[in-house]
Homo-oligomer: A and B are copies of this chain.
């Protein structure tokens, strides 16, 4: 079973204050890049894996999805997501991505934002998603970039010119990483890009695109703290098709 840090009160209190939780998709600087990767939504049956407060689930439904199933392992998240909508075509369920089973060929799009790096058995998850999609169906997901996750002590350092620099070590050593993020010992799983892509291809997906999110000049102007994110790849955005 995956660690459920989201129902830790300290974690939840801090996490709920993140711009992307308060402002929704507009608070997530990578959202325009994700949006550009999404297929046409009209009439599609969508599953949102790790839906959190349901921002993306609601957005997909407002942009034409026929139905959206949002799943998350956190009671807190699902409770708040359910309270945000009266739309009967959006359904929420409590489930752990480590063991979740979905019906076969029941969805046209599987979407997930920043959840898969909490899953230890990525191979099982990807094969399950492949079965749950219709032929031609899409999988679009984001994870923390392995360059962001790999190091034993992931924090900004300066190079000899004072340039913000991100340390990489133990890149090829996949597996558990523990970090302190609103709570001590948040567990994530580091996988190389090679492994992530290989897992998709071996499950039968075709790769449609990879993006390594970096903020645009306009985004940096609006939110100067984002400038650092041009120095390192923070997130990996992946689009694949069954």
Binding site for B on A (CB under 8 A): 147, 151-153, 157, 159-161, 163-173, 192-194, 197-198, 201, 206-212, 214, 229-233, 237
- Contact across chains for A231 and B169 when beta carbons are under 8 A apart: yes
- State the number of copies, please: 2
A111 CB to closest chain B CB (Å) equals: 19
> Beyond A152-B159, A193-B212, is A171–B207 a contact (Cβ under 8 Å)?
no
Q: List 29 A-B contacts (CB under 8 A).
A: A147-B147, A151-B159, A151-B165, A152-B159, A152-B161, A153-B160, A157-B157, A159-B167, A159-B169, A163-B170, A165-B167, A165-B169, A166-B167, A166-B168, A167-B168, A168-B168, A168-B231, A168-B232, A171-B212, A171-B231, A192-B233, A193-B193, A193-B212, A194-B209, A194-B210, A194-B212, A197-B209, A201-B209, A206-B206
